[in-house]
Amino acid sequence: MSEKIMVLNGHGIDIRVNSGHLKIKEGFPFKGNITEHYLDRGLNDIEHLVILGQTGSITIDAIKWMMDQDMIVSFLDPDGNIVTDFIPQNNISGIVKRRQATASNSFNLEISSWLLSEKFKQQRNTLIHLSTKYRQAIWWTEEREQRIEKALTISSNREELLVSSLNPDAQRVLEAQAAAAYWPAFEGVELSWQKSAKIPNHWRTIGNRTSPKSCSPRKAIDPFHAGLNYLYAVLETKFKRSCFINGIDSDFGIIHADHANRASLVYDLIEPLRPKVDKVLFDWCMATSFNKKQFFETREGVCRIAPDVVSNIIPFVSELDRDVENIVKGYASYFKNKWVVQRPGEFAENEPDRRKSANKVERKAFKYKEVSLPTPSVKINTEKPSNQFIPPAIENLVTDNVDNETSGFFCLECGIAFVPEKPGQRFCGKTHKDTYRKRLLREKRVSEGKCPQCGRPMEQTAEGTYKDRLTYCNDCMEYWKRKYREKKA
């Protein structure tokens, strides 16, 4: 279910707690247009609060109230950039952080290939959507059709070259080449205006994605790209929150370089969904007749969007909630899988031996050898494959500092690497060997329709009754009930 987004705009926005409720005041006092909202704990369906106003106040109690309700708060400037945001924090495992920080270059290339491959696929889907739905439009020309065909060819070709890329720089070049062919498909598309004679000429059509005011997408000079900046900013906050929920550090980037005060991983994970945002906003623009009052131009020449228009387009991002979760969970499955090496070799040399209290099995520091790791279990919805993002196979997740002279072995029960004390040892301790044997025996008995505890045949019961869900035979159930009563007494 998509989350509900509330957009606040106006002058003197006030957010505070009043008698246990969250009281929100927004609007324009000089126009006599002031609106008050009251949100109750546990009953409201607002999960994302986007604040567009540049003046106002928010109390500490209100911040705590929203964090307790797992609510995201995003502050956007007039250009659609994130000023700051409040996101409910979760503790991220140090092991996961270490895995992210010390993943090998080959593994990072595999992840970036997956993300960029998905982006290329979504770009082609968007271009095909344009050529299918708007072929009868006034602005459709033979030249535009040639642009789309060229972009489709380049996108497919660059996706094939991703596999043979040797470094992230080469992949970034392929992504830039595909983007250079993708964006011209939108250029020159006419927008509908009620009074087009009173607007700047470059507002009448969709322009270039790169703004001449910043030599980048920032500070857009036309309405379409200004709206994209707002949607990308809100989507960025969604990815950041999903990273915290799934226990992934958003600072360790793969495609984008690491910079201070920037969640580089968020910019990596957002790439596959950018073309979907483009398609949603483009369809809305084609179905809307704009008014000059909905936009205004700064003295610098930057196009700004009125708050009421922003309030209409920001909820479009909620349609991508499932895609956001699929991408982040697919990425997180690499670093939270028990088969992944927990301590890289460069850290193992300086760490003391550890003892596990549960079964008192010694843990010895060792170095790792490159191994083939199994694919994590990621739930994929086969009914809608176009909305799912399937991660590549997990292989060769090792550090760059590998000592090939020392072989690493993994326990079949817990997946922890260990140093064998005798040939043929497959478990890190005798306790795990017994646990593994008992678990296999129980699974075999269950598959044969026998009691997993004693191995005797289970009684046949009618389907749909409570007995149909019984997991033990009657004798074993009586035994466990008697043990429970004795323990309780």
| Nearest C-alpha neighbor of 50 from the set 97, 96, 91, 3 | 3
CA-angle at 108, arms to 105 and 110, nearest 5°: 115
Same domain, residue pair 98 and 39: no
Q: Which pLDDT value is given to residue 345?
A: 43
Residue 322 forms part of a structural domain: yes
For residue range 281-290, list pLDDT tens digits in order: 999 999 999 8
Q: Which pLDDT value is given to residue 408?
A: 45
Supply 328's token pair: 């982040």
Q: Which pLDDT value is given to residue 461?
A: 55
Residue 148 forms part of a structural domain: yes
Same domain, residue pair 222 and 302: yes
| Nearest C-alpha neighbor of 231 from the set 156, 310, 298 | 310
For residue range 415-434, list pLDDT tens digits in order: 666 667 777 777 777 787 88
Domain-terminating residue out of 41, 76, 111: 76
Q: Taken in order 363, 369, 372, 377, is the CA torsion positive or negative?
A: positive
> Residue range 2-14: average pLDDT?
79
**End-to-end Cα spacing for the chain:** 47
Q: Which pLDDT value is given to residue 224?
A: 93
Residue 87 forms part of a structural domain: no
Same domain, residue pair 220 and 297: yes
- Which residues have CB under 8 Å from 169's CB, separation 6+? none
Q: Which pLDDT value is given to residue 183?
A: 93
Q: Is the pLDDT of residue 405 over 60?
A: no
Residue 127 forms part of a structural domain: yes
CB count within 10 Å of CB 447 equals: 9
Mean pLDDT of the chain: 77
Same domain, residue pair 227 and 300: yes
Residue 246 forms part of a structural domain: yes
Same domain, residue pair 70 and 178: no
CATH of the domain at 39: 3.100.10.20
Q: Which pLDDT value is given to residue 231?
A: 92
For residue range 140-150, list pLDDT tens digits in order: 999 999 999 99
Domain count along the chain: 3
Residue % of the chain over a pLDDT of 90: 16
Q: Which pLDDT value is given to residue 121?
A: 93
Q: Is the pLDDT of residue 55 over 90?
A: no
The range of the structural domain enclosing residue 250 comes to 94-332
Residue 247 forms part of a structural domain: yes
Same domain, residue pair 113 and 182: yes
Distances 293 to 78, 93, 290 between C-alpha atoms, Å? 15, 50, 9
Domain-terminating residue out of 332, 352, 380: 332
Domain-terminating residue out of 304, 332, 360: 332
For residue range 299-356, list pLDDT tens digits in order: 888 998 888 888 888 888 888 888 998 898 888 887 766 444 444 443 333 334 433 4
For residue range 222-277, list pLDDT tens digits in order: 999 999 999 998 898 889 888 888 888 888 888 887 776 678 888 889 999 999 99
Same domain, residue pair 209 and 321: yes
Residue 181 forms part of a structural domain: yes
For residue range 77-136, list pLDDT tens digits in order: 877 778 888 877 777 777 788 888 888 788 888 888 889 999 999 999 999 999 999 988
Same domain, residue pair 63 and 200: no
Q: Is the pLDDT of residue 395 over 70?
A: no
Rounded to a whole number of angstroms, the CA Rg of the chain reads 28
Residue 459 forms part of a structural domain: yes
Q: Is the pLDDT of residue 399 over 60?
A: no
| Nearest C-alpha neighbor of 96 from the set 365, 343, 294, 465 | 343
Prediction pTM value: 0.64
Same domain, residue pair 460 and 322: no
Q: Which pLDDT value is given to residue 147?
A: 92
> Residue range 367-396: average pLDDT?
41
